[in-house]
Structure 1
Amino acid sequence: MSESTTSKWISDKMVLIAALAAISLSVFQIWQGITADLSAPVFRPVHLSWALILVFFTIPLIKSQQSTLFYLAGRLIDVVFIGAIAWASYHIIYFDYDDISFLMDGLTFLDQLSGLIILVLLLEATRRTVGTVMVLIAALFLAYAIFGNYLPASVASKGFSIEEIVRFHIYSTNGVYGAPLAIAAGVVFIFVLFGAFLQVTGAGKFFIDASFSIAGKYRGGPAKASVIASAALGSISGSAIANTVTTGALTIPMMKKLGYKPEQAAGIEAAASTGGQIMPPVMGAGAFVMAQFTGIPYSEILLVSIAPAILYFACTLLYVHLMACKLGLEGMEITEKISVVLKNGWHFLVPLILITSLLLMSYSPILVGIAGCVAILVAAMCRKHSRITIPVFFEGLKEGALLALPISVACGTAGIVVGVVGQTGIGLQFTQFLMALSGGYLWSVLGLIAIAAVILGMGLPVTAAYIVLSIMAVPSLTELGVGLLAAHMIVFWLSQTSNVTPPIALAAFAAAGIANTSPMKSAIQAFKLAQGFFIIPIMMAFSGLIWMEGQNIDFIIAIILTIGLIIAFAGTIEGRLATKLSFPARAMLLVSGFTMLVPYLYINIAGIVVIVVVTLNNYRLSKNEVIEQVAVNS
């Protein structure tokens, strides 16, 4: 057998083993979700070790097979890593937590070695799945925990030994096996699996088809359909980039064909797909982490997220419409009737209605996710044209596990950061530093958090960025009078911005690849279209946009002010509403937009009146233009 044949044989076998391991992981997760048979100190290490092993199976150390010898050497190292993870995890899982002598005498050599193996190989798995930046951040925090006593007194920590680091981060539920991994291993995995079943059963295609039926015939139809489809699917996919690639493969070529510039088509898809992460009922993974951090029921987070999410997509749709008007675009000539689409796929709505209802009724999110998986499979089997085969069912189990790997690994590494913050107390020092740098002004704090979110997001997945940022920044917001839920929502929204903000806008770059255009131009367009990610958190901080019981009037006023701000900024940036705006009209909109942020109702009302007058006058001018054009043509 030649070297190349040997290499291919080994690669095929490892792919097969990985597929079986992925399917087994999904089955194990469902079993644990139903029975809750394993305790946290056992379940979390089992889940993480399974995920790490899958990473080393599916992502080789040396990916290229051009050099067969190097590839085989890399695969051998991967096998060694897999063996080391299995051994270390076995040792951790069977660690005797009832014997508290380890708290007084410290860990044994084998205990420390097992913990170090998991820490090191977790960072290596993170490098392969998420990237180097997150590894460097985690390593920096670990270095601070170990060598913090050598730093100036203002930022110094005690300085912990390797044994203390391993004991805290591995042999407790405070570090690697802490809250972030608990959410990833429980709720998030099940809902990612639900999303995988949506795709393999054809439900994803149904939502895209329905979006084109609803919006395709209107001006700029494919772009508006992209926004609607991304709102429907993005919540469940768990990744803005995955959503961009899934829906963008269909919508971006159609937008280009209609007349949108390639960078505009890419920017629209990126902004819409990123918005899916803040859309109920699932909201990616971050909302479940938020529920864990705040102690607020997920059903309440879901409820207060509905209005801001709708406002975000309304903002994006407005920009899309103004773009279409500017380019003189029309809708699609032929679209499938919505009645036909619903007739063929109405049964796919049942699982979404089911999980939304159960979440609002405060059932366990894990059991709700499992119920959703069962419901989507049952719904698919009820109609002849959507029935799936056994191989497709197993494909769904496999894809669900593989899609969850980056989330689990990233949350495990984020647990290191969270653990160091708790172990060293650096969170309080960071809050004091942020308050001093901002001068104690809420505006300044929001600006600094937004900058930090963009920087963190260049190398971290959204969920990991939110975890890190919430631990460090939420105390600053609450100290300035922002409510706990509002503070977390602000950080959660700002954590999304890195997907659409230059210089490294990951969702926009993915869309640019599909559109075959400049990534930077696409990122600029996405940034403009995703203004809601900045406008709405500001309104959360300065108004009652986060609904609270007994504050209905404040909530309604906040919605009106947010709509006014969105229209004012859109008209100012695009230079038109119903028709082209004059320079004085744009200036009036800009000034009136800022009055929405002033905490005086009379000033707010004056600003709203100006925005309404400018908008109505612009609409009147557009009607006159149409009448004049008709007269000229006749």
Structure 2
Amino acid sequence: MSERRDETMEPIVADGVDDEVIETNRRIFAGWRFTAVGLLATFYAAFHMAALNGLSIYEITGIRIPFLPTFPMETWNFRIVHVAGALFLGFILFASGPFGDEEEDRRPMIGRMAMVLMIPALIALGAAIWFATQIAGGVMWNGVDEAIRSREIWAFGVPLLIATGGAILLSWAHRGPRAGVSPADFVLGVCGIAVAAYLITIYGTLMRNSTGTPFAPIGISIAAVAGVALIMELTRRVAGIALVIISAVFLAYVFLGPFLPGFLTAPAISWQRFFSQVYTDAGILGPTTAVSSTYIILFIIFAAFLQASKVGDYFVNFAFAVAGRARGGPAKVAIFASGLMGMINGTSAGNVVATGSLTIPLMKKVGYHKKTAGAVEAAASTGGQIMPPIMGAGAFIMAEITGIPYTEIAIAAIIPAVLYFASVYFMVDFEAAKLGMRGMRSDELPKVGVMARRAFLFLPIVILIVALFMGYSVIRAGTLATLAAAVVSWLTPYRMGPRSIVKAFDLAGIMSIQIIAVCACAGIIVGVISLTGVGARFSNLLLGLAEASQLLALFFAMCIAILLGMGMPTTAAYAVAASVVAPGLVELGIPQLTAHFFVFYFAVLSAITPPVALASYAAAGISGANPMETSVTSFKIGIAAFVVPFMFFYNSALLMDGTWMEVLRAGLTATIGVFLLSSGVQGWFLGERTAWYMRVGLLVSALFMIEGGLMTDLVGLGIAAVVYLVRRFVNPDPDAPLVVKGAD
């Protein structure tokens, strides 16, 4: 806990929550490299902000610069540039593996070999530009003309594949010093630009309509092969191997599908046809990249502005002031603070690292076991992904895929989010009660009055919500909220001037790399699903299960959504599950919004579900506990979230679908249900410990309240009342055997 004090002389509990986290494989530059990369990242983020708001460089600066794009850009070109910029920045910033203590280049020969690969990379880039000049000169470009086909293969395709494949292999063997760029990684960045230059050239003509046909130039397929390899390699560097393995399995399925039995059988597809389509809006440039290039990067910029103005520190301090005195105070602070931070930053594991570095040690200090401390933070950070209005960007992907208005999705998410956080709160409160914990002392905490006087720091989020519900577009609302973050900073010690604004854009450009790579990689999977028809066959499988039991079909869908999401960031987990599972649920007759919320919840919960639980593992790294024990405990703490989707399946009023009386009754009875569920799991009911058979009764009463009908709610309440009466009058000692008072 920091001892630094500000001008109010009040304790600063949260200090540095907004500090940037440096990954083990991220390069740390100095001097001119630091300046150059910072300017690149700044320009990349500012380019998106300008493009999304329809502003050109000329309109901003009054200076007309040749060759720079005018806005609004054509949609496909914008997405291609979006991915290419992330590839170039990503390979410059992130090495192929973690850096050690050695700073010197111990394998200079491999570095020199990589420099040779710059020749074919530049040849491929030059060929793409040459093709553009030919097309502009009136050459009819197509995939049938043998002369054009030969040029594309030998002038563009072969050099590009040599440079891409060779540089990826050499980058695994050569990392170089942390303060410098590996030549192999620089080659990979150039290859990413060459892919983009070619695709913009070809898609700028009528050739986009020929994808998937014999008329498609073979260069599209070759560029897509290189692009897929680059995206998967960058995803491995910034998000781990899990999503890459799943993508590789789906790619293998494209070509092995004809040889598989049963519903897995797929029609034969040539490599040229498949890859000519996968780098279009049927795959990589489809819904996931559409969202990352608009809403996600916009809210990353918003989060970076909040970070630069130290609003994140205020969020955590405010939570400490409100909840720090309660028993087990730091755990309750983690719930509130991580929910606020998590809904903005869009990654469960990243939020654990940001807020958990403060809350986990404090939880251990007041008496929580280290595995419980980590589990509470993991569960709370994961819950931030389902917290409206931002929902860690998941709501935007859902809106893009379903066509349901974003505001409708945000409203529908309110009660399920409240139920989740209420359940986690009950869990940590009952744990604190069982262990006899105290809260933190008043002199350890910020004063509520001081925090209340700074409530204006919530203004950017208030403006965002108000603008959305006034009918402004998401982009305009996000832009206004970002501007508000800069304005309110002038009322704090961390005033944002030109230098701070540039730094915020720099930070946003770097923060966006992971999510853009992940969305592009998820687009590969989406492309495989749409082009092979495996999603429709999975829907038929669910329909077959539903004939036996609809509950069985839902349970199977839950398992697949969790399995697909294991080891993957939330955004990619939902995007993949929405393509595979959600259509099948809709085929069962489930409303589209309910089906997608069902899938979304379980994709999010994969972050705390054993055996692969990214958020829990990140928390275990801070708490020092066993990762598997932490993931099991976080699963237990977040258990209500595994029940809530079944709740709103049986009772759509929980998604605001119904009259106000129906919604209020559903919300009230569901809250009682998660209270009983938490009591049963923790063995603590109405201020007293309970025996095992009472816990079973409480769990059964909670499950009866899932269905949402009046009779089942009454049955659930009746069982809970029986448990209370047994505890009160029959067997007050939970450790004693069940003996009725007065019996022999």
- Name the residue aligned to 1:628: none
TM-score (norm 1): 0.91
For the residues of structure 1 that align with 2:239 and 2:560, how far apart are their CA atoms? 18
State the Cα deviation string for residues 331-364 of structure 1 (Å, max 9, x = none).
1112322111122x22211111000111223321
2:266 aligned to which of 157, 161, 168: 157
TM-score (norm 2): 0.78
Q: Which has the larger radius of gyration?
A: 2
- Name the residue aligned to 2:15: none
For the residues of structure 1 that align with 2:35 and 2:627, how far apart are their CA atoms? 36
For the residues of structure 2 that align with 1:145 and 1:582, how far apart are their CA atoms? 54
For the residues of structure 2 that align with 1:40 and 1:540, how far apart are their CA atoms? 36
Using a 3 Å threshold, how does the CA distance of structure 1 residues 581 and 406 change in structure 2: closer, same or farther?
same
- Name the residue aligned to 1:428: 536
For the residues of structure 1 that align with 2:668 and 2:718, how far apart are their CA atoms? 12
* Superposition deviation, residue 586 in structure 1: 2.5
Query: Partner of 2:188: helix, strand, or coil?
Result: helix
Using a 3 Å threshold, how does the CA distance of structure 1 residues 615 and 252 change in structure 2: closer, same or farther?
farther
1:278 aligned to which of 376, 386, 410: 386
Using a 3 Å threshold, how does the CA distance of structure 1 residues 219 and 153 change in structure 2: closer, same or farther?
closer
For the residues of structure 2 that align with 1:229 and 1:112, how far apart are their CA atoms? 47
- Name the residue aligned to 1:631: none
Identity within the alignment, %: 32
The reply on whether 1:42 has 2:77 as its aligned counterpart is: yes
1:323 aligned to which of 390, 415, 431: 431
Using a 3 Å threshold, how does the CA distance of structure 1 residues 154 and 352 change in structure 2: closer, same or farther?
closer
For the residues of structure 1 that align with 2:538 and 2:416, how far apart are their CA atoms? 29
Contact 2:423 2:674 in 1 (8 A): yes
Q: Which amino acid aligns with 1:30?
A: M
Using a 3 Å threshold, how does the CA distance of structure 1 residues 409 and 423 change in structure 2: closer, same or farther?
same
Q: Which amino acid aligns with 1:587?
A: V
Query: Partner of 1:284: helix, strand, or coil?
Result: helix
* Superposition deviation, residue 616 in structure 1: 8.4
- Name the residue aligned to 1:336: 446
- Name the residue aligned to 2:738: none
Contact 2:676 2:699 in 1 (8 A): yes
Contact 2:539 2:585 in 1 (8 A): no
Using a 3 Å threshold, how does the CA distance of structure 1 residues 406 and 439 change in structure 2: closer, same or farther?
farther
- Name the residue aligned to 1:380: 489
- Name the residue aligned to 1:119: 228
* Superposition deviation, residue 215 in structure 1: 0.7
Q: Which amino acid aligns with 2:105?
A: T
The reply on whether 1:481 has 2:589 as its aligned counterpart is: yes
The reply on whether 1:310 has 2:418 as its aligned counterpart is: yes
The reply on whether 1:86 has 2:232 as its aligned counterpart is: no
* Superposition deviation, residue 502 in structure 1: 1.5
- Name the residue aligned to 1:27: 46
- Name the residue aligned to 2:306: 198
For the residues of structure 2 that align with 1:370 and 1:600, how far apart are their CA atoms? 43
State the Cα deviation string for residues 455-478 of structure 1 (Å, max 9, x = none).
222232111111111111112222
- Name the residue aligned to 1:230: 338
2:637 aligned to which of 515, 525, 529: 529
1:58 aligned to which of 88, 93, 102: 93
For the residues of structure 1 that align with 2:319 and 2:325, how far apart are their CA atoms? 11
* Superposition deviation, residue 528 in structure 1: 1.1
- Name the residue aligned to 1:99: 206
Structure 2: unaligned runs, 5 residues or longer: 1-26, 55-70, 115-170, 172-181, 735-744
* Superposition deviation, residue 559 in structure 1: 2.0
The reply on whether 1:354 has 2:389 as its aligned counterpart is: no
The reply on whether 1:221 has 2:324 as its aligned counterpart is: no
- Number of residue equivalences: 615
* Superposition deviation, residue 84 in structure 1: 1.3
* Superposition deviation, residue 159 in structure 1: 1.8
Q: Which amino acid aligns with 2:507?
A: E
Contact 2:681 2:699 in 1 (8 A): no
Contact 1:15 1:58 in 2 (8 A): no
Contact 2:239 2:514 in 1 (8 A): yes
For the residues of structure 1 that align with 2:721 and 2:489, how far apart are their CA atoms? 48
* Superposition deviation, residue 181 in structure 1: 0.3
Contact 2:221 2:272 in 1 (8 A): yes
Contact 2:254 2:266 in 1 (8 A): yes
Deviates more, 1:181-190 or 1:242-251: 242-251
For the residues of structure 1 that align with 2:600 and 2:695, how far apart are their CA atoms? 31
Contact 1:539 1:545 in 2 (8 A): no
* Superposition deviation, residue 156 in structure 1: 2.6
Q: Which amino acid aligns with 2:245?
A: L
Deviates more, 1:24-33 or 1:502-511: 502-511
Deviates more, 1:585-594 or 1:523-532: 585-594
Contact 2:218 2:272 in 1 (8 A): no
Query: Partner of 1:397: helix, strand, or coil?
Result: helix
Using a 3 Å threshold, how does the CA distance of structure 1 residues 440 and 403 change in structure 2: closer, same or farther?
farther
* Superposition deviation, residue 285 in structure 1: 1.5
For the residues of structure 2 that align with 1:248 and 1:490, how far apart are their CA atoms? 28
Using a 3 Å threshold, how does the CA distance of structure 1 residues 11 and 62 change in structure 2: closer, same or farther?
farther
The reply on whether 1:418 has 2:526 as its aligned counterpart is: yes
Contact 2:616 2:630 in 1 (8 A): yes
Contact 1:442 1:477 in 2 (8 A): no
State the Cα deviation string for residues 146-165 of structure 1 (Å, max 9, x = none).
34333346433222222212
* Superposition deviation, residue 440 in structure 1: 4.2
* Superposition deviation, residue 599 in structure 1: 6.6
Using a 3 Å threshold, how does the CA distance of structure 1 residues 433 and 337 change in structure 2: closer, same or farther?
same
Q: Which amino acid aligns with 1:55?
A: G
For the residues of structure 2 that align with 1:218 and 1:370, how far apart are their CA atoms? 37
* Superposition deviation, residue 609 in structure 1: 3.4
Q: Which amino acid aligns with 2:312?
A: G
Q: Which amino acid aligns with 1:340?
A: V
The reply on whether 1:70 has 2:107 as its aligned counterpart is: yes
State the Cα deviation string for residues 171-194 of structure 1 (Å, max 9, x = none).
x32111111101011101110111
Query: Partner of 2:268: helix, strand, or coil?
Result: coil
